[in-house]
Amino acid sequence: MDLQDILDKLNSEEKAELAKLLHRELNIPDLELVSKNINENRPIHCPHCHNTEIYGHGSYKGRRRYMCKSCKKTFNDFTGTAVDGIKKLDDFQEYLLLMIESVTIRKAAKKLGVSMQTVFDWRHKILSALEAFNGSNFSGIVECDDKQLDINEKGNRNLERKPFKRASDRETKRGVSNDKISIMVASDRNDKTTMQVAKVGRIDAESVQNTIGGFISTDNILCSDSHPSIIKWAKDKHLEHHTFVASRQHVKNRCYHVQHVNSLDSRYEKWVKRFNGVSTKYLQGYLNWFVFLQKIRKSTIRAQELAKCVINNISALRTYSFIERKYIDLMKLHYIRT
């Protein structure tokens, strides 16, 4: 019997159900056990003031507690993480498996027997945890590109305009305009990737620096299209920079091109279609999700990789609470000009 052939014939829902069954049958360690193993290898510090001078302070509901010598606040292994405050840990762990399969909120809620609002909150807490893993220092040749998406106010109940019955009813200007959100995408040849929301409208050198600038150094060689803002930023940063015009040239010296980043854009567009539109408010979270899936696509323990990321990020809850504020700051330019 060829198990790979059997797996290839299963759809995403059947694979998710199989993963759930295997998870139960094999008795995979729960999140608390995983977190204890991680804590042995990571320094524990206060999630409130980030002081490393802490001491044990008993336990509560089976979890070890600590107290900070500086701020005198108590915390446990999950404080500040996406798991903080989660009461249905078993269902939450099963949802991690569904996140790997990119299952929609409605289908996940039906499978887990919980409300859609609960799954919605879990999803965006997890995506907030993944923000810390969206981007790292690049090596060698780096390809970058800017991408424009229509502003999407899906789920907004306080619109300052008449709602559209269909997305196609919205009239937007062609090309780059203040009706669109710009995203910066960058990747090196070792599959290190970052996708960051830049600004409303056309990118400038400042937005390039704020999104991908921290991951690129003078040791890197940059490849991009001939966008003037990217050219200016690369010049200011003293980078070796190769530009391309798609209609004229695709490759220089057999190694300089932007095919990797273009392929990444294409895969993202295909992946995100299943969600029937992503709100601009939560767009960065979905970019985090996609980048993480690209990083672990060759891993055989993808669910455990996700669990580790979720438990290790003690700033996830803070990032989650700032989503609304970041969205307001992002959209200020759009509302001013319209």
310 closest CA partner among 179, 72, 55, 123:
123
Amino acid at 64: R
**CA dist 297 → 134, 146, 191 (Å):** 15, 24, 11
**CA dist 281 → 285, 310, 324 (Å):** 9, 21, 7
Task: Tell me how far apart the alpha carbons of residues 292 and 297 are, in angstroms, rounded to a whole number.
Answer: 9
Q: Is 58 left (phi over 0), alpha (psi -120 to 50) or beta?
A: left
Q: Residue 291: what pLDDT?
A: 94
Q: Where is mean pLDDT largest: 47-51, 64-68, 120-124, 241-245?
A: 120-124
Helix/strand/coil for 221 = strand
Q: Residue 167: what pLDDT?
A: 63
Task: Tell me how far apart the alpha carbons of residues 334 and 338 are, in angstroms, rounded to a whole number.
Answer: 6
With 50 as the cut, is the pLDDT of residue 29 above it? no
Q: Residue 207: what pLDDT?
A: 93
Reported as a single tens digit per residue, the pLDDT across 153-204 is: 887 777 777 777 766 666 666 666 778 899 999 999 998 999 999 999 899 9
Other Cβ atoms closer than 10 A to 337: 11
Give the range among 201-215, 224-238, 269-283, 324-338 with minimum mean pLDDT.
Answer: 324-338
Domain boundaries, the chain: 136-156+172-337
pTM across the whole model: 0.83
Please give the torsion angle defined by the CA atoms of residues 159, 162, 168 and 172, in that order, rounded to the nearest 10 degrees: -80
Q: Which CATH architecture has domain 136-156+172-337?
A: 2-Layer Sandwich (3.30)
- In the block, tokens 């405050």 appear at 85
323 closest CA partner among 197, 177, 159:
197
Task: Tell me how far apart the alpha carbons of residues 313 and 131 are, in angstroms, rounded to a whole number.
Answer: 9
- In the block, tokens 């014939």 appear at 9
With 80 as the cut, is the pLDDT of residue 63 above it? no
Average pLDDT, the chain: 84
Task: Tell me how far apart the alpha carbons of residues 2 and 302 are, in angstroms, rounded to a whole number.
Answer: 22
Chain centre to alpha carbon of residue 61: 31
Give the mean model confidence (pLDDT) for residues 300-312: 84
Helix/strand/coil for 32 = helix
Task: Tell me how far apart the alpha carbons of residues 41 and 23 are, in angstroms, rounded to a whole number.
Answer: 25
Residues with Cβ < 8 Å from 31, sequence gap 6 or more?
83, 89, 92, 93, 307, 311
Q: How confident is the model at residue 21 (pLDDT cuts 50, 70, 90)?
A: low
Q: Where is mean pLDDT largest: 22-26, 120-124, 155-159?
A: 120-124
